[in-house]
Protein backbone atom coordinates (compact mmCIF):
# COMPACT_ATOMS: atom_id res chain seq x y z
CA UNK A 1 0.00 0.00 0.00
CA UNK A 2 1.26 3.40 -0.96
CA UNK A 3 2.20 5.52 2.03
CA UNK A 4 3.61 8.98 2.37
CA UNK A 5 5.34 9.38 5.68
CA UNK A 6 5.48 12.82 7.16
CA UNK A 7 8.71 14.56 6.36
CA UNK A 8 9.09 12.60 3.16
CA UNK A 9 9.32 14.69 0.04
CA UNK A 10 5.93 15.11 -1.58
CA UNK A 11 6.25 13.08 -4.76
CA UNK A 12 3.04 14.35 -6.27
CA UNK A 13 3.58 13.29 -9.84
CA UNK A 14 4.50 9.79 -8.75
CA UNK A 15 1.40 9.73 -6.56
CA UNK A 16 -0.77 10.60 -9.57
CA UNK A 17 0.85 7.90 -11.70
CA UNK A 18 0.37 5.22 -9.07
CA UNK A 19 -3.17 6.03 -8.02
CA UNK A 20 -5.04 7.51 -10.98
CA UNK A 21 -6.40 4.18 -12.24
CA UNK A 22 -7.77 3.25 -8.84
CA UNK A 23 -9.26 6.69 -8.26
CA UNK A 24 -10.83 6.64 -11.71
CA UNK A 25 -12.53 3.34 -10.82
CA UNK A 26 -13.98 4.84 -7.65
CA UNK A 27 -15.07 8.04 -9.41
CA UNK A 28 -16.67 6.09 -12.26
CA UNK A 29 -18.61 3.89 -9.85
CA UNK A 30 -19.81 6.90 -7.92
CA UNK A 31 -20.79 9.14 -10.83
CA UNK A 32 -21.83 6.44 -13.28
CA UNK A 33 -20.04 7.77 -16.36
CA UNK A 34 -16.55 8.21 -17.75
CA UNK A 35 -16.59 11.96 -18.46
CA UNK A 36 -17.72 12.85 -14.97
CA UNK A 37 -15.22 10.39 -13.51
CA UNK A 38 -12.33 12.10 -15.33
CA UNK A 39 -13.46 15.52 -14.06
CA UNK A 40 -13.77 14.20 -10.53
CA UNK A 41 -10.28 12.67 -10.57
CA UNK A 42 -8.85 15.95 -11.86
CA UNK A 43 -10.60 17.93 -9.10
CA UNK A 44 -9.51 15.40 -6.51
CA UNK A 45 -5.80 15.71 -7.33
CA UNK A 46 -5.99 19.49 -7.27
CA UNK A 47 -7.71 19.36 -3.91
CA UNK A 48 -5.31 16.73 -2.61
CA UNK A 49 -2.33 18.87 -3.52
CA UNK A 50 -3.81 21.97 -1.98
CA UNK A 51 -4.66 20.15 1.24
CA UNK A 52 -1.58 17.93 1.38
CA UNK A 53 -0.75 19.26 4.83
CA UNK A 54 -3.94 17.64 6.13
CA UNK A 55 -2.66 14.17 5.32
CA UNK A 56 -1.90 12.32 8.51
CA UNK A 57 0.44 9.36 8.60
CA UNK A 58 -2.03 7.11 10.40
CA UNK A 59 -4.20 6.71 7.28
CA UNK A 60 -2.94 5.24 4.05
CA UNK A 61 -2.60 7.69 1.19
CA UNK A 62 -5.13 5.62 -0.70
CA UNK A 63 -7.79 6.01 1.97
CA UNK A 64 -7.06 9.72 2.20
CA UNK A 65 -7.46 10.05 -1.59
CA UNK A 66 -10.64 7.93 -1.59
CA UNK A 67 -12.19 10.39 0.82
CA UNK A 68 -11.25 13.33 -1.36
CA UNK A 69 -12.68 11.60 -4.44
CA UNK A 70 -15.86 10.79 -2.51
CA UNK A 71 -16.27 14.43 -1.61
CA UNK A 72 -15.53 15.68 -5.14
CA UNK A 73 -17.87 13.09 -6.70
CA UNK A 74 -20.66 14.01 -4.31
CA UNK A 75 -20.34 17.71 -5.16
CA UNK A 76 -20.09 16.91 -8.85
CA UNK A 77 -23.24 14.77 -8.87
CA UNK A 78 -25.20 17.37 -6.88
CA UNK A 79 -24.09 20.14 -9.20
CA UNK A 80 -24.95 18.12 -12.28
CA UNK A 81 -28.36 17.29 -10.89
CA UNK A 82 -29.10 20.91 -10.13
CA UNK A 83 -27.94 21.97 -13.57
CA UNK A 84 -30.28 19.54 -15.21
CA UNK A 85 -33.15 20.53 -12.93
CA UNK A 86 -33.33 16.93 -12.00
CA UNK A 87 -33.91 15.33 -8.66
CA UNK A 88 -31.25 12.84 -7.59
CA UNK A 89 -33.89 10.13 -7.39
CA UNK A 90 -34.82 10.54 -11.04
CA UNK A 91 -32.08 8.42 -12.57
CA UNK A 92 -33.41 6.07 -15.20
CA UNK A 93 -33.26 2.49 -14.03
CA UNK A 94 -31.51 -0.04 -16.23
CA UNK A 95 -34.09 -2.66 -17.06
CA UNK A 96 -33.13 -6.22 -16.27
CA UNK A 97 -35.46 -8.56 -18.10
CA UNK A 98 -34.28 -11.57 -16.17
CA UNK A 99 -35.14 -10.61 -12.60
CA UNK A 100 -35.42 -14.12 -11.27
CA UNK A 101 -32.31 -15.63 -12.82
CA UNK A 102 -29.61 -16.54 -10.33
CA UNK A 103 -26.18 -15.22 -11.36
CA UNK A 104 -24.47 -18.02 -9.41
CA UNK A 105 -25.66 -20.52 -12.02
CA UNK A 106 -24.32 -18.47 -14.94
CA UNK A 107 -21.09 -19.80 -16.30
CA UNK A 108 -20.04 -16.42 -17.58
CA UNK A 109 -18.47 -14.43 -14.75
CA UNK A 110 -18.11 -11.37 -16.97
CA UNK A 111 -21.83 -11.39 -17.63
CA UNK A 112 -22.51 -11.54 -13.91
CA UNK A 113 -20.21 -8.57 -13.33
CA UNK A 114 -21.98 -6.65 -16.06
CA UNK A 115 -25.32 -7.35 -14.41
CA UNK A 116 -24.02 -6.13 -11.08
CA UNK A 117 -22.54 -3.08 -12.82
CA UNK A 118 -25.88 -2.38 -14.52
CA UNK A 119 -27.77 -2.82 -11.25
CA UNK A 120 -25.35 -0.43 -9.53
CA UNK A 121 -25.73 2.10 -12.34
CA UNK A 122 -29.50 1.91 -12.01
CA UNK A 123 -29.45 2.95 -8.34
CA UNK A 124 -30.27 6.57 -7.51
CA UNK A 125 -26.88 8.34 -7.12
CA UNK A 126 -27.35 9.09 -3.41
CA UNK A 127 -27.82 5.37 -2.68
CA UNK A 128 -25.19 4.18 -5.14
CA UNK A 129 -22.50 6.44 -3.69
CA UNK A 130 -22.93 5.04 -0.21
CA UNK A 131 -22.98 1.41 -1.41
CA UNK A 132 -19.83 1.99 -3.46
CA UNK A 133 -17.97 3.66 -0.60
CA UNK A 134 -18.97 1.12 2.05
CA UNK A 135 -19.39 -2.21 0.30
CA UNK A 136 -16.87 -1.84 -2.52
CA UNK A 137 -14.21 0.43 -0.99
CA UNK A 138 -14.78 -0.33 2.68
CA UNK A 139 -14.79 3.23 3.99
CA UNK A 140 -16.16 3.60 7.54
CA UNK A 141 -19.61 5.14 8.02
CA UNK A 142 -18.06 8.12 9.75
CA UNK A 143 -15.87 8.93 6.73
CA UNK A 144 -18.73 8.40 4.28
CA UNK A 145 -21.03 10.68 6.26
CA UNK A 146 -18.37 13.38 6.52
CA UNK A 147 -17.51 13.38 2.80
CA UNK A 148 -21.10 13.26 1.59
CA UNK A 149 -22.23 15.88 4.09
CA UNK A 150 -24.86 13.69 5.77
CA UNK A 151 -25.27 12.14 9.21
CA UNK A 152 -23.99 8.67 9.99
CA UNK A 153 -27.58 7.54 10.54
CA UNK A 154 -28.54 8.79 7.08
CA UNK A 155 -25.51 7.00 5.58
CA UNK A 156 -26.66 3.74 7.16
CA UNK A 157 -30.23 4.15 5.96
CA UNK A 158 -29.02 4.83 2.41
CA UNK A 159 -26.73 1.82 2.57
CA UNK A 160 -29.52 -0.53 3.60
CA UNK A 161 -31.91 0.86 0.99
CA UNK A 162 -29.26 0.61 -1.69
CA UNK A 163 -28.43 -2.98 -0.78
CA UNK A 164 -32.10 -3.92 -0.77
CA UNK A 165 -32.67 -2.43 -4.22
CA UNK A 166 -29.59 -4.19 -5.57
CA UNK A 167 -30.77 -7.52 -4.18
CA UNK A 168 -34.18 -7.04 -5.73
CA UNK A 169 -32.71 -6.16 -9.10
CA UNK A 170 -30.20 -8.97 -9.13
CA UNK A 171 -32.08 -11.80 -7.50
CA UNK A 172 -35.68 -10.85 -8.10
CA UNK A 173 -38.40 -9.08 -6.18
CA UNK A 174 -39.29 -10.95 -2.97
CA UNK A 175 -43.03 -11.26 -2.51
CA UNK A 176 -44.09 -9.09 0.42
CA UNK B 1 -44.36 -13.09 4.08
CA UNK B 2 -45.05 -13.00 7.81
CA UNK B 3 -43.96 -10.27 10.18
CA UNK B 4 -41.14 -12.37 11.62
CA UNK B 5 -39.63 -12.89 8.16
CA UNK B 6 -39.96 -9.21 7.35
CA UNK B 7 -38.17 -8.20 10.55
CA UNK B 8 -35.48 -10.76 9.85
CA UNK B 9 -34.89 -9.53 6.31
CA UNK B 10 -34.58 -5.97 7.59
CA UNK B 11 -32.05 -7.11 10.17
CA UNK B 12 -30.06 -9.06 7.56
CA UNK B 13 -29.81 -5.98 5.33
CA UNK B 14 -27.84 -4.37 8.13
CA UNK B 15 -25.12 -7.02 8.21
CA UNK B 16 -21.84 -5.14 8.12
CA UNK B 17 -20.06 -7.53 5.78
CA UNK B 18 -20.25 -10.94 4.19
CA UNK B 19 -18.44 -12.48 7.15
CA UNK B 20 -20.51 -10.73 9.84
CA UNK B 21 -22.46 -12.87 12.30
CA UNK B 22 -26.24 -12.99 12.02
CA UNK B 23 -27.68 -10.82 14.84
CA UNK B 24 -28.66 -12.78 17.96
CA UNK B 25 -32.24 -11.65 17.80
CA UNK B 26 -32.91 -13.30 14.45
CA UNK B 27 -30.45 -16.19 14.22
CA UNK B 28 -32.90 -18.74 15.63
CA UNK B 29 -35.55 -17.77 13.06
CA UNK B 30 -33.02 -17.91 10.19
CA UNK B 31 -32.09 -21.44 11.28
CA UNK B 32 -35.63 -22.68 10.94
CA UNK B 33 -36.98 -20.54 8.06
CA UNK B 34 -36.23 -21.64 4.52
CA UNK B 35 -37.12 -18.25 3.05
CA UNK B 36 -34.88 -16.27 5.41
CA UNK B 37 -31.98 -18.68 4.93
CA UNK B 38 -32.30 -17.92 1.21
CA UNK B 39 -32.34 -14.19 1.94
CA UNK B 40 -29.20 -14.51 4.06
CA UNK B 41 -27.42 -16.46 1.32
CA UNK B 42 -28.37 -13.89 -1.31
CA UNK B 43 -27.35 -11.01 0.92
CA UNK B 44 -23.94 -12.54 1.64
CA UNK B 45 -23.44 -13.26 -2.03
CA UNK B 46 -24.23 -9.65 -2.91
CA UNK B 47 -21.73 -8.33 -0.37
CA UNK B 48 -19.07 -10.74 -1.68
CA UNK B 49 -19.68 -9.63 -5.28
CA UNK B 50 -19.53 -5.97 -4.31
CA UNK B 51 -16.22 -6.42 -2.51
CA UNK B 52 -14.82 -8.26 -5.54
CA UNK B 53 -15.68 -5.29 -7.78
CA UNK B 54 -12.78 -3.38 -6.27
CA UNK B 55 -10.32 -6.01 -7.49
CA UNK B 56 -11.62 -5.98 -11.06
CA UNK B 57 -10.28 -2.58 -12.04
CA UNK B 58 -12.02 -0.33 -14.51
CA UNK B 59 -9.81 0.59 -17.41
CA UNK B 60 -9.35 4.39 -17.42
CA UNK B 61 -9.43 6.20 -20.79
CA UNK B 62 -6.02 5.78 -22.45
CA UNK B 63 -5.22 9.51 -22.42
CA UNK B 64 -6.33 10.15 -18.85
CA UNK B 65 -2.90 10.15 -17.24
CA UNK B 66 -1.45 12.54 -19.81
CA UNK B 67 -4.47 14.81 -19.51
CA UNK B 68 -4.26 14.84 -15.74
CA UNK B 69 -0.57 15.69 -15.71
CA UNK B 70 -0.98 18.27 -18.44
CA UNK B 71 -3.85 19.99 -16.64
CA UNK B 72 -2.05 19.85 -13.31
CA UNK B 73 1.02 21.38 -14.95
CA UNK B 74 -1.18 24.23 -16.18
CA UNK B 75 -2.68 24.96 -12.77
CA UNK B 76 -0.68 27.59 -10.86
CA UNK B 77 -1.07 25.60 -7.64
CA UNK B 78 0.28 22.32 -8.95
CA UNK B 79 2.51 23.38 -11.82
CA UNK B 80 5.74 23.08 -9.86
CA UNK B 81 4.79 19.61 -8.61
CA UNK B 82 4.47 18.13 -12.10
CA UNK B 83 6.81 20.35 -14.12
CA UNK B 84 9.25 17.46 -14.39
CA UNK B 85 6.61 15.61 -16.35
CA UNK B 86 6.35 18.34 -18.97
CA UNK B 87 10.14 18.69 -19.36
CA UNK B 88 10.53 14.94 -19.81
CA UNK B 89 7.68 14.89 -22.30
CA UNK B 90 9.20 17.68 -24.36
CA UNK B 91 12.56 15.89 -24.34
CA UNK B 92 10.90 12.66 -25.40
CA UNK B 93 9.08 14.38 -28.27
CA UNK B 94 12.27 16.12 -29.38
CA UNK B 95 14.08 12.78 -29.52
CA UNK B 96 11.16 11.26 -31.41
CA UNK B 97 11.15 14.12 -33.89
CA UNK B 98 14.92 13.83 -34.39
CA UNK B 99 14.53 10.12 -35.03
CA UNK B 100 11.95 10.63 -37.75
CA UNK B 101 14.43 12.59 -39.87
CA UNK B 102 14.90 16.12 -40.94
CA UNK B 103 11.67 16.54 -42.90
CA UNK B 104 9.28 18.77 -41.04
CA UNK B 105 11.52 18.90 -37.98
CA UNK B 106 11.86 22.66 -37.98
CA UNK B 107 8.13 23.24 -37.93
CA UNK B 108 7.51 20.70 -35.15
CA UNK B 109 10.33 22.10 -33.04
CA UNK B 110 8.90 25.58 -33.33
CA UNK B 111 5.51 24.34 -32.14
CA UNK B 112 7.03 22.42 -29.23
CA UNK B 113 9.24 25.31 -28.16
CA UNK B 114 6.33 27.69 -28.23
CA UNK B 115 4.24 25.33 -26.12
CA UNK B 116 6.99 24.49 -23.64
CA UNK B 117 7.82 28.15 -23.31
CA UNK B 118 4.32 29.13 -22.32
CA UNK B 119 4.03 26.33 -19.79
CA UNK B 120 7.39 26.56 -18.18
CA UNK B 121 7.12 30.32 -17.94
CA UNK B 122 3.80 30.01 -16.08
ZN1 LIG C 1 -38.42 -16.17 7.77
Nearest-angstrom CA–CA distance, B56 and B38? 27
CB proximity B60 to A under 8 Å: yes
What is the Cα–Cα distance from A75 to A36, expressed in whole angstroms? 11
Domain of A145 in residue numbering reads as 4-171
Best mutation target among B65, B81, B85 (most A Cβ atoms within 10 Å) is B81
Within its chain, how far is the Cα of A78 from the centroid?
A: 14
Q: How far apart are CA A30 and CA A24, in angstroms?
A: 10
Partners of residue B55 in chain A, C-beta under 8 Å: none
* Chain A interface disruption, residue of B19, B53, B56, B79, most A CBs within 10 A: B53
* Mean predicted confidence (pLDDT) in B1-15: 83
Q: Let me know if residue A176 belongs to a domain.
A: no
Query: B39, B12 in Cβ contact below 8 A?
Result: yes
ipTM > 0.85?
no
Report whether pLDDT(A173) > 90: no
- Distance separating alpha carbons of residues A145 and A143, to the nearest angstrom: 5
The C-alpha of A78 sits at a distance from chain B's nearest C-alpha, in angstroms, of 23
Torsion of CA A38, A140, A129, A63, to 10 degrees: 0
Domain count along chain A: 1
Domain boundaries defined on chain B: 3-55, 64-121
| pLDDT, tens digit, 9 for 90 and up, residues A28-57 | 999 988 999 999 999 999 999 888 888 877
Q: What is the percent of chain A with per-residue pLDDT over 90, rounded to a whole number?
A: 52
CATH number for the domain harbouring residue A50: 1.20.140.160
Looking at the predicted structure, is the pLDDT value of residue A93 above 50?
A: no
pLDDT at residue B100 tops 80: no
> Are B60 and A20 within 8 A, CB to CB?
yes
Q: Residue A92 and residue A94: Cα distance in Å, rounded? A: 6
- In 3D space, the residue among B100, B15, B60, B22 whose CA is nearest the CA of residue A24 turns out to be B60
Residue range A129-140, pLDDT digits in tens: 999 999 999 999
Residue with the larger pLDDT of the pair B117 and A85: A85
Q: How confident is the model at residue B90 (pLDDT cuts 50, 70, 90)?
A: low
Whether A108 is in a domain gets the answer: yes
Amino acid sequence: MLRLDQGEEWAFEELVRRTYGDLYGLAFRMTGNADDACDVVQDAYLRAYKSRDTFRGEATVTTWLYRIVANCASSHVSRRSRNRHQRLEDSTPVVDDRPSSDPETMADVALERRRLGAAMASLPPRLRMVVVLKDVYDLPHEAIAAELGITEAAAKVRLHRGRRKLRERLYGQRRQ
Amino acid sequence: MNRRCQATITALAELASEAAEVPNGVSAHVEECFRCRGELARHRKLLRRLRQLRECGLEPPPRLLDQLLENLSESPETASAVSGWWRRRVNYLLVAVAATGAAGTGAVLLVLRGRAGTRLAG
